[in-house]
Structure 1
Amino acid sequence: MEGKTVATPPQEAVKTASPKTEASIPPFDFDHLLTLPEILRRSARLNPKKDAILVRRKDTIERLSYEELDRMVDEIAWGLMALGLQPDDKVAFLAENRPEWIAVYFAVQRAGGVSVPLDPQLGVSEVRHLLNQSEAKFVFTSARYADLVTEAVNGAEQIQRIIFFDPNANGTERSMTIEELRELGRSSKREFPKRDLDDLAAIIFTSGTTGVSKGVMLTHRNLASNCASSMLLFPILENDVFYALLPLHHTFPAMAAMILPLGAGVTITIGGSLKSRDILEDIARTKVTIFTGVPLLFEKMIQGILREVGKKPAHVRALFKAMLGVSKFSLKYLHARAGKKLFQGLREKAGMTSLRLLVSGGAPISPDVLEMYNYLGFQFVQGYGLTETSPVLSMSPPDKLKARSVGPPVKGAEIRIVNPDEQGVGEIVVRGPMVMKGYYKNPKET
């Protein structure tokens, strides 16, 4: 089904890759929630040999199966427990998107701890402040950010270990590599602590609109319910490949490009560069089908496409304009997506034939940009939410897209507008299982 758009009914939207489901494997949906480590374990048992994560390295593609990812998570979790991690202890990690980042996110929770992803763009003093504010006992990082984290840890005396993803990072007396941690885990296997849905899963630091850093506390129920409710509006097919290009320390890509695909048992391609050439190479080589991004990224992509069209001879530009008119007419009056066939050649030259769904979040997208993608034959989904709601509150179904709407609320979300003015504009208030537990150590702001 590569490159084929499928409008799947909600009850059929998610299919596992395995035709046989063991009776002992628990269900996962909105009415049968699991903790995040349980969600990953379930997918690994259903799809052990399936690719969980892909990373393109020049001429090769590194593959990590669900079985291998789940084993890595176990070993890291055992290693952390051997180092003294206790239930509800905080573990920070600061690095670029990579398979180890994802493994650590789930391993911390499997060991009973709380994941604290940090923004690599922060300065030393800001990282030190967040390490202290979160009371993190361990911090993971990569060679790229080794100096930043090593300096930030000076003055964060509660940090017991710095754990490096890379073997060549400059270490200290308090450091070790992730391979050393995994080896420690393999030699000290033990039972994992039982975690409940209402236990804390992650603390996400956000400045919000005040400029003051606040730690958003998200429970397993918050994140699992948001994943399950998104699945009801988000058509996922068993051969889908999600593109994790945006930094995963943000809640939108963490949900839309990590938790959601892993919950559905499909594949993630980790992007390593924002350069157009690298993005298109990632898409083409790993057959990405679902691309999550922010408006600015999608605007630059469409500008690039239109710029290339503008360089063509006059008769080609005239043909493009005529085809665009046909696509607009068919979509507006016939509710048919003629652009998919009309512009198939354009998408092939751009290396985007495998894409079947584009997902925008994080900020409003221009209706003109969204409509242009639809005219060119792409299906678009846009959502609304915030970190404090795990983050998805509403989502536009791809088969009922309105350019100036973010769609209906996801299942479980109750939304109303308080004190609306004559234009209907007011404060949005919401409640539901996706709403955060509160701000960490900040009851006043909560």
Structure 2
Amino acid sequence: MLVTDLLRRNAHLWARETALVAVEAANLTDPGPESYLLRRESLTWEEMNRQANQIAHFYLSIGIHRGSHVGLMMKNSIEWLPIYFGILKSGAVVVPLNFRYDADSAVYSIRFADLDALIFDADASSVIQQILTRTLGLRSFLYTGSREDCPAFAFPIQDIWETQPENEPDLPPLEPMEDAAIYFSSGTTGVPKAVVYSHATLASACERERYHHGQVHGDCFLCIPPLYHVGAKLHWMANLLVGARAVLLKGFTVPAFFRVVHQERVTIAFLLLPWLQDILVALDAGRISDVADALCSLRLIHTGAQPIPPSVVEQLRQHFPQIALGISYGLTEAGGPGVLNLRMEDIERSGSVGLPPPGWQAQVVDDAGNETPPQAPGELLLKGPHMMSRYYKSEAATEEVLAGGWLHTGDIACRDIDGYDEKGEKVFSNIGDTLFAVYQAPDSPPFPKSSTVIPERTPDYVCPDYIAPNQNLLYRMSGDTNRLHVDQKEAHKQGFDRPIMQGLCSFGYACRLAVRELIPHAPERMTSMEAQFRSPLFPDTKVELHIWKVQDGLAYFRMLAPEKKQIVLEKGCFMWK
């Protein structure tokens, strides 16, 4: 059953039951029920389906239909999902866009995806007004903010709720393999690609996520990440399949999370690593009271989207022994999240990304395409029902990434040496090892020497940049939980007057600057990069990357903190094809 059919079914079976709740997190500190209700909106399944029908009728009335492309540039809101389904019901292809896009990014996405129409909210309004003369081909603008603030060139959504029919559009049935959605993703190739999903891809996500979450009709799912991203939108799909309630928390604060879970009786929460860490910090500091009562309904915390440190898993288990944990791995090209999943009964293997769900296969191969032995690293390949259809307007990239019927993820993985369980099933683990050489034993081989020799001449490029005061905190969201980078006491203990930048983040700044100067807009051309770390870098510091181009495809570099007269990276070598 396609997702549009599921919505129609739910409106018939559970018409008056709540389908969706949206709660504004900001200033959600007043304990009174009136304060909470002022920040809460809700829709029943009948109302959600009715609004989707009205959106579909509106677009059909202005000639948007099968084959048309409609963009959706909005923050999470109570209207987001009805609008999404309305576009699908019209037969058009829905194209969710990042609401944080600046003008240039918005123009690129609108043009590349060949949009015919665009829906935007008050937060995106200023960007859309900047690009009006640059968005060729757009025939319609729909505005979801207040009628009073609606720009003259747009149509207010309130008029649709007041004027459009509420019945199902009279159209031929949608076909499973028809295009349904286009999602932008850097994915496996390092540069943004437009990933095409069929209606079958969306329907497949419903079954996959129900398998991972064990959703039933009585569950309540908490969603916080932006719905334009498949990692949030498709996690919600299991709710659609079983007719369960969902809550959109618009924004995140730790007090708001606990309040909403308690108030809405949330049973399943999808939380990204930064939010988990914020919750753990608040618990360790004693800032949350009556935790057991607040989370008494919660049975599963699901996370993923980035490596989850085993230390975080262990802390969660200590604080919430009664709550199951699940960790998923996915990518847009595979049809979203959960194509590998470390299920709750196997959480002892934290650090692994688990097993493929029923109907999916995974293998690790070497450069020759041969399957690697246990514990040997190689590229992770995936195969399953209804992965992406293709990259939009990128036939060559599609053939490369789907060669042989397998999705070539570009991610490095390995198999456990002892299998996964008594049946010998495979398990896959991310690899990320760092070796710090502190001293050299007397009879050990000498440390390797760099062959890079920085030329004794003026650099060909001098690239200035600035490390923001909070860059160490932002980088910590990637999963680096070393306290040296955030804790003043820990920094003092290790001989620094304040927290230092993560080494890989400093290395990343150098990489970005080198790409910008040597291979602009083509990071996939980079083949290797190396350097020696000479001194720590601190937040709130100006830096410069000095680059010497040796020949086509080869450059040497040095990174400096000029105001401190320090070399940060030395004997850098950057190569590209």
Q: Same fold (TM over 0.5)?
A: yes
Partner of 1:406: helix, strand, or coil?
A: strand
Shift of 1:67: 0.7
- Which residue does the alignment assign to 1:41? 8
Matched, 1:290 2:242: no
Matched, 1:281 2:281: no
One-letter amino acid of the structure 1 residue matched with residue 183 of structure 2: I
Q: Is the contact made by 2:205 and 2:237 (CA closer than 8 Å) also made in structure 1?
A: no
- Which residue does the alignment assign to 1:415? 362
Select the residue among 300, 310, 317 that pairs with 1:374: 317
Q: Larger RCO: Structure 1 or Structure 2 (Cα < 8 Å, ≥ 6 residues apart)?
A: 1
Deviations 1:242-299 (A, max 9, x none): 112110111111111x322122210111111222222222222222211112122212
Deviations 1:106-155 (A, max 9, x none): 11111101110011111111101101111111111111221112223331
Partner of 1:162: helix, strand, or coil?
A: strand
Select the residue among 343, 348, 352 that pairs with 2:295: 352
Report the Cα distance in structure 2 between the residues aligned to 1:190 and 1:384, rounded to whole angstroms: 37
Report the Cα distance in structure 2 between the residues aligned to 1:422 and 1:354, rounded to whole angstroms: 40
Q: Is the contact made by 1:112 and 1:193 (CA closer than 8 Å) also made in structure 2?
A: no
Shift of 1:99: 1.7
Deviations 1:172-221 (A, max 9, x none): 44310112234443289740342111111110001236552210111111
Partner of 1:136: helix, strand, or coil?
A: coil
Matched, 1:111 2:90: yes
Shift of 1:396: 2.4
Matched, 1:126 2:99: no
Shift of 1:369: 0.9
Partner of 1:52: helix, strand, or coil?
A: strand
Do the aligned partners of residues 199 and 302 (structure 1) sit closer, same or farther apart at CA in structure 2, a change above 3 Å counting? same
One-letter amino acid of the structure 2 residue matched with residue 265 of structure 1: G
Report the Cα distance in structure 1 between the residues aligned to 2:385 and 2:359, rounded to whole angstroms: 7
Q: Is the contact made by 2:58 and 2:164 (CA closer than 8 Å) also made in structure 1?
A: yes
Q: Is the contact made by 1:153 and 1:159 (CA closer than 8 Å) also made in structure 2?
A: no
Residues 251-270 of structure 1: pairs in structure 2 closer than 5 A: 251-256=230-235, 258-270=236-248
Matched, 1:395 2:341: yes
Report the Cα distance in structure 2 between the residues aligned to 1:211 and 1:76, rounded to whole angstroms: 35
Q: Is the contact made by 1:222 and 1:389 (CA closer than 8 Å) also made in structure 2?
A: no
Matched, 1:148 2:127: yes
One-letter amino acid of the structure 1 residue matched with residue 327 of structure 2: Q
One-letter amino acid of the structure 2 residue matched with residue 59 of structure 1: Y
Q: Is the contact made by 2:54 and 2:161 (CA closer than 8 Å) also made in structure 1?
A: yes
- Which residue does the alignment assign to 1:334? none
- Which residue does the alignment assign to 1:26? none
One-letter amino acid of the structure 2 residue matched with residue 428 of structure 1: L
Select the residue among 165, 168, 174 that pairs with 1:195: 174
- Which residue does the alignment assign to 2:305? 362
Report the Cα distance in structure 2 between the residues aligned to 1:215 and 1:204, rounded to whole angstroms: 6
Deviations 1:77-121 (A, max 9, x none): 111111111202111011110121111111111110111001111
One-letter amino acid of the structure 1 residue matched with residue 326 of structure 2: V
Report the Cα distance in structure 2 between the residues aligned to 1:286 and 1:160, rounded to whole angstroms: 40
Shift of 1:427: 0.6
Unaligned runs of 5+ in 2: 25-34, 367-371, 399-577
Deviations 1:347-398 (A, max 9, x none): 33xx322221101021111111112212322211111110111212122222
- Which residue does the alignment assign to 2:59? 80
Pick which of 137-146 and 367-376 moved more.
Answer: 367-376
Shift of 1:345: 5.1
Q: Is the contact made by 1:291 and 1:357 (CA closer than 8 Å) also made in structure 2?
A: yes
Report the Cα distance in structure 2 between the residues aligned to 1:191 and 1:383, rounded to whole angstroms: 39
Matched, 1:444 2:401: no
- Which residue does the alignment assign to 2:208? 229
Pick which of 205-214 and 34-43 moved more.
Answer: 205-214
Matched, 1:385 2:385: no
Shift of 1:229: 2.5
Select the residue among 380, 384, 398 that pairs with 1:428: 380
Report the Cα distance in structure 1 between the residues aligned to 2:163 and 2:222, rounded to whole angstroms: 32
Q: Is the contact made by 2:18 and 2:43 (CA closer than 8 Å) also made in structure 1?
A: yes
Structure 1 length normalisation: TM-score?
0.80
Matched, 1:220 2:167: no
Do the aligned partners of residues 279 and 187 (structure 1) sit closer, same or farther apart at CA in structure 2, a change above 3 Å counting? closer
Unaligned runs of 5+ in 1: 1-33, 312-343
Identity %: 23
Do the aligned partners of residues 188 and 81 (structure 1) sit closer, same or farther apart at CA in structure 2, a change above 3 Å counting? farther
* Structure richer in helix, relative to its length: 1
Report the Cα distance in structure 2 between the residues aligned to 1:151 and 1:188, rounded to whole angstroms: 37
Two-structure CA RMSD over aligned residues (Å): 2.2
Shift of 1:421: 6.8
Deviations 1:288-329 (A, max 9, x none): 2111121222122112211228x9xxxxxxxxxxxxxxxxxx
- Which residue does the alignment assign to 1:327? none
Do the aligned partners of residues 365 and 127 (structure 1) sit closer, same or farther apart at CA in structure 2, a change above 3 Å counting? same
Q: Is the contact made by 1:82 and 1:185 (CA closer than 8 Å) also made in structure 2?
A: no
Report the Cα distance in structure 2 between the residues aligned to 1:422 and 1:286, rounded to whole angstroms: 45
* Structure richer in strand, relative to its length: 2
One-letter amino acid of the structure 2 residue matched with residue 375 of structure 1: Q
Q: Larger C-alpha radius of gyration, 1 or 2?
A: 2
Q: Is the contact made by 1:79 and 1:183 (CA closer than 8 Å) also made in structure 2?
A: no
Q: Is the contact made by 2:42 and 2:78 (CA closer than 8 Å) also made in structure 1?
A: no
